[in-house]
A and B are shown apart, each in its own frame.
Chain A
Amino acid sequence: MEQEPNYTDPYLAGLVHRHADMIMRIAYTYLKSTADAQDICQEVFLKVVKHRKTFENAEHEKSWIIRVAVNCCKDALRSPWRRLFSPFGDAMPPIADKQNQEVVSLVMDLPKKYRIVLHLYYFEGYATAEIAELLQSKEATVRTRLKRAREMLKSNLIGGLANE
């Protein structure tokens, strides 16, 4: 990947188009609020520009942005500012298909430590070792959380929607 030390307009536009959707989904997984996910999106990109990070390749860029997004979400969850002024998330995920919405809702009902592992594994397609690195955790912990999350989902899902 070509290095972009000057953070030109085309590079910034490309950066947003490459990663904005991914950040929105990760932030939604943590915060369960579209509005808060949009805030995280802005914060992550501002951090990228502030740090003027030069990435070795596309995968390095993506994983760095995921780590920043995860940290921003954790900070947001800790923030008394958010607790005071934005205590409510979306009532239901903004998804048109009812069945898809129900499954996403079931995942969102899980504790956040399970949600993010499920998301990175199933949606982003990361291996457990890679998730452990992204979340600065142990691979065994990721595996356990993944297993536990599947068990909890299976016990909640009706009609065999978990077709893994």
Chain B
Amino acid sequence: MNRYVEGMKEIKADEELKSSLIQSLQQSRTPQPRKKPISKKAALPVAAACLLVVLAVFAASSLRTDRGPAFSAGLVIHAYADDGSAVEMKPNVELPLGNYSPIMSSVPGLPLQIGSSEADSISVLAEHGTLAEWSPPASKVINKGSNASIKPGETLYWSPMSEASEWEENPSTLITVIAYKGKKEIGRRQIEVRVNEDNPLYYTGVLFEN
């Protein structure tokens, strides 16, 4: 078994991986700053202000008479949970997006499948991180940067890594999905991807209907 031992010695973590591991461990070890509790004295005016804002928004939305049809263009977004199952994202419902680590080179990011019954092209913009196209079993990952255009039904991958392959520490990022028919925008939605505070490998997503 000497040849086995000699061969296995070549399977090791390279220096780049080790540096990346150390960096991510140092980041994950840093405790999240505690939110300063609001004192009881300040709580009442804050609550009153919040109530006023909510009432103002509610009143403004009730007074609107020019409300058009839902601006969704039949957009249907599927995310993949940790067990690999595809789940349709519903507006304002937080959904676990499964796990992804920045050095997980076997998967180029968190997959999002975006379909639309009406659009003929879909533009996706990521506030942070990068977007990529990938069709297994082909190993080639096409990096799209922060802006990608896909056909309805295609899957796009979002990664928290920057274009320079550097870890971007953002607790959340907004992904904007815009549906086009020809050159005309017919629908728009936003997904907020949040890092799980307890386990930075896990993400959740919320879909917002614009």
Contact = CB atoms under 8 A, between A and B. Distances in A.
Interface of A: 7, 9, 12-13, 15-17, 20-21, 23-25, 28, 33-39, 41-43, 45-46, 49-50, 79-88, 93-97, 99-104, 107, 118-119, 122-123, 161-164
B72 to A, nearest CB: 27
Given A93-B7, A97-B6, A162-B1, A16 B98 contact: no
B28 A104 contact: no
Contacts of A21: 11-13
B52 interface: no
Contact of A103 (B3, B12, B18, B104): B3
B3 A99 contact: yes
Given A16-B25, A80-B83, A85 B111 contact: yes
Given A12-B26, A81-B83, 5 more contacts: A42-B24, A86-B107, A87-B137, A100-B3, A104-B4
B158 interface: no
A36 B101 CA distance: 11
Contacts, number: 145
A28 B17 contact: no
B28 A49 contact: yes
B7 A46 contact: no
B7 A97 contact: yes
B66 interface: no
A121 to B, nearest CB: 9
6 contacts: A16-B18, A33-B106, A42-B103, A86-B106, A97-B7, A100-B7
B29 A49 contact: yes
Contacts of B7: 93, 95, 97, 100-101, 103-104
B99 A81 contact: yes
Among B3, B24, B107, residue most surrounded by chain A Cβ atoms (within 10 Å): B3
Contacts of B25: 12, 15-16, 45-46, 49
Nearest to B139: A88
Contacts of A23: 13
Nearest to B105: A35
